Amino acid sequence: MAGQSVGGRNYNFKCVLLGEGCVGKTSLVLRYVENKFNDKHITTLQASFLNKKLNIGGKRVNISIWDTAGQERFHALGPIYYRDSNGAILVYDITDEDSFQKVKNWVKELRRMLGQDVCLCIVGNKVDLEKDRHVTVAEAEEYAASVGARHFHTSAKLNRGIEELFLDLSKNMITKADDNTSKKSSSLGSGAGSRRSVIVVDDEQPTQKSGGCC
């Protein structure tokens, strides 16, 4: 819940998930957020908004993962979802050339809407179907590099490459957020273009050696 994030320095990021219907983007993100202690996301069917908390270098990082309407008929609605995103995961199916082309269209749109502030990750899913690959590794990696995106290969089925993907994305989002914060503080008031990407809550409370909660 908003307002409770106090203690140390914490980051809160919004990350949109894009990909055609059958590329496995839902499975991929469910794999990432599921754990043996809490599988309610799967039992309740809900896969449109998911949260994942992780700790990097002693800092708390909360990633809100927004599934984005990807069907063609909802194309015009995309910007409503992208707004203020810190990261975007664009998923294609390595066995489906069309899904890769679709990713290219989204990259163009995201860059147009959000500029360079958004961290992009292009993800070739279903590497368990390597023998049916229709998008070559070289082509995908070359394209990702050309648009300033990172490229990952994953298999939601085998739970492969997913943690690495999100860790890398988190690192990039933290770097970008820290850059924006330092830019903002060095040129006060000229923060144009840098979205409210991060919540950094400085420790305002006096530190205590002992005592119960609060």
Partner 1 sequence: MSYDMDELDINPFFRALQTTFSDLYEKAQEKCYLVCVPQKSNLVGASINQKLLESHILRPSPYFKGQYISQYNPDNQTVSIEDNGQIIHLLQGYKDKKTIRILSEELAYNKNYQPYKILIVEEPFEIRSTGAALSSTKESPINDLLIPKSTFTESKCFLQSITEFSKVLQEIDKAISDFNQHYMVLKDYLEDVADRIQFIVANLSEKCISCSKKKIHSDPRFKDVLYGAVESYFLGMVYNKVFSAICEKFSQEDRDLYNKCFHLDNITPAQLDIPKQFSCPLPTAIFELSRLKDFHTPKEKLNTLKAVIDSITMEIEAHVNSTKQKIDVFPLTSKSDTPCLTSDDLIPLLVTVIAGAKCTTLESDLYYMEYFLWNSTFKDMDDVSYCLVTFKAAVQYMQETDFNTLVQKSHKPVREPGVSELLSGMKISPFDSPGDRLSTQSSRENKIDSYSDFLSTQNIRKDKKPVKLSTLLSQDGKSHKEPQQQGERKIKSIFNESVKRYSPNMMLENKSDDNPLGDFLSGLQNDPFEQSFGKQF
Would you say 76 or 138 has its CB closer to partner 1? 76
- Give the footprint of partner 1 on residues 182-201 (CB under 8 A): 196, 199, 201
Q: Which residue among 23, 24, 28, 30 contacts partner 1 (CB under 8 A)?
A: 30
Please count the residues of this chain forming the interface with partner 1, following the rule CB under 8 A. Answer: 70
Q: Which residue among 23, 24, 74, 105 contacts partner 1 (CB under 8 A)?
A: 74
CA separation, residue 101 to residues 90, 94, 106, 134, 136 (Å):
11, 11, 9, 12, 13
Render 74-112 in DSSP notation, one character per residue.
GGGGHHHHHTT-SEEEEEEETT-HHHHHHHHHHHHHHHH
Which range touches partner 1 (CB under 8 A), out of 8-16, 90-98, 124-132, 182-190? Answer: 8-16
Q: Which residues pair with 15 in a beta bridge?
A: 65, 87
User: Which of 103, 117, 121 shows the shortest CA–CA distance to 164?
Assistant: 121
Give the x-and-dash track for 143-182 against partner 1 (CB under 8 A). Answer: --------------------x---x---x-----------
